[in-house]
């Protein structure tokens, strides 16, 4: 199964067609979250990573392990996941990315696989130093994921 990443917006605030920081974000999305390879986290994240994303927040080894667990969970839930970077901007050592994640919920998402299509927006903000993510804020549209997979309807039925 091929996991490609498409970059729609080819110019960010740097005025170039790409940057080292965009390359780092593209790789963690494509090789990590889309392909399910957790080894890329050790390569692309600083051992002193500060993670701010809800549910993954932590520092150092705790943050690294949280990102790896998120990759594994998402890849099990949506194994054909692909990302399209639709917009990005960079200032200094910080990059802001708006990506679209699409696939099929053929794995479990708070219940049995639904087989439904998934199409969500993810906002990532990362500080990148020497080719590694040192600090990260992520805002995936989890509500849309729950609604599109049918998990939200199942949760409402049990309450």
Tens of each residue's pLDDT in the chain, 159 residues? 445 555 554 444 444 456 999 999 999 999 999 999 999 999 999 999 999 999 999 999 999 999 999 999 999 999 999 999 999 999 999 999 999 999 999 999 888 999 999 999 999 999 999 999 999 999 999 999 999 998 888 777 765
Give the number of other CB atoms < 10 A from CB of residue 146.
Answer: 17
Give SS3 for 24.
helix
pLDDT at 13: 42
The whole-number pLDDT of residue 130 equals 96
The residue length of the chain stands at 159
> How would you write 124-136 as a 3-class SS string?
EEEEEECCEEEEE
56 DSSP 8-state letter: T
pLDDT for residue 8:
57
SS3 at position 143:
helix
pLDDT at 86: 97
State residue 111's pLDDT score: 85
Q: What is the per-residue pLDDT for 15?
A: 41
**pLDDT given at position 7:** 58
Strand intervals (E) in 33-142: 45-51, 58-59, 82-91, 94-104, 117-129, 132-140
Spell out the domain ranges in the chain: 5-99+121-140
CATH architecture of 5-99+121-140: Roll (3.10)
pLDDT at 151: 86
Q: Report CA Rg, the chain.
A: 16
Please measure the distance between the N-terminal and C-terminal CA atoms of the chain and give it in whole angstroms. 38
To 5 degrees, how large is the angle CA 11–CA 83–CA 125? 60
**Dist CA 140 CA 98 (whole Å):** 10
- What pLDDT does 115 receive? 95
Instruction: Quickly tell me which residue has 């940057």 as its tokens.
Output: 19
pTM confidence score = 0.86
């Amino acid at each position: 199964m091929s996991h490609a990443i498409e970059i729609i917006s080819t110019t960010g605030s740097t005025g170039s067609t790409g940057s080292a920081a965009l390359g780092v974000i593209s790789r963690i999305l494509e090789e990590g979250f889309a392909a399910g390879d957790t080894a890329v986290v050790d390569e692309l994240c600083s051992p002193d990573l500060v993670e701010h994303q809800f549910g993954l927040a932590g520092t150092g080894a705790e943050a690294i392990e949280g990102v790896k667990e998120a990759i594994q969970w998402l890849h099990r839930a949506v194994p054909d996941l692909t990302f399209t970077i639709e917009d990005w901007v960079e200032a200094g050592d910080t990059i802001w990315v708006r990506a679209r994640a699409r696939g099929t919920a053929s794995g479990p998402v708070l219940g049995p696989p639904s087989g439904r299509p998934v199409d969500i927006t993810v906002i990532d903000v990362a500080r990148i130093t020497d080719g590694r993510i040192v600090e990260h804020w992520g805002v995936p549209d989890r509500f849309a994921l729950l609604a599109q997979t049918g998990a939200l309807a199942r949760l409402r039925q049990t309450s």
